[in-house]
Amino acid sequence: MSSEILNAMKISAMGMRAQGTRVRVITENVANAQTTGDTPGADPYRRQTISFKNVMNRNLGIHNVEVDSISTDKHTPFELKYIPDHPAANAEGYVKMPNVNTLIEVMDIREAQRSYEANLGMMNQSRSMIMRTIDLLRG
């Protein structure tokens, strides 16, 4: 039974690591939500996306979640904003703005936070079960 508990803790730790990376990517997006180009027509910051994969850990005989890739969102278009005095404004006075929707990023970070907390709760439950087992063995 103890190996199952330890495996559960390892799975939770990998989940926490993956969600921590997801939070880092999302916070980078939010931090650059207003980062434009420096010259007329230059592209602004592009939103980063993260994807996960399920990987079999043959040594432990368990499945882990890992970051598959961090890539740029090339599908969501840039928004044009009229700021004629901006250094990146085109001839008509429009500036390309990043394809970051702060509302979506906030929802994504909340989901990542909940997943992280669920994995942390699982780690705490596993630790508690191990401690109770030790207490039973002592008594």
Q: What is the pLDDT of residues 72-94, one digit of tens each?
A: 999 999 999 999 999 999 999 99
pLDDT at position 62 is: 83
- Whole-structure pTM value: 0.85
* 24-to-3, 17, 34, 115, 138 alpha-carbon distances in Å: 32, 11, 17, 14, 43
* Residue % of the chain over a pLDDT of 90: 76
Looking at the predicted structure, is the pLDDT value of residue 32 above 80?
Answer: yes
| Residues 3 and 60: beta-carbon distance below 8 Å | no
Angle at alpha carbon of residue 11, lines to 8 and 15, rounded to 5°: 135
Query: Is 1's pLDDT higher than 60?
Result: no
Residue (of 125, 114, 86, 135) closest to 4 by Cα position: 125
Pairwise pLDDT comparison (130 vs 121), residue with the higher score? 121
Please state, in angstroms and rounded to a whole number, the distance separating the CA atoms of residues 118 and 8: 12
| Boundaries of every domain in the chain | 2-138
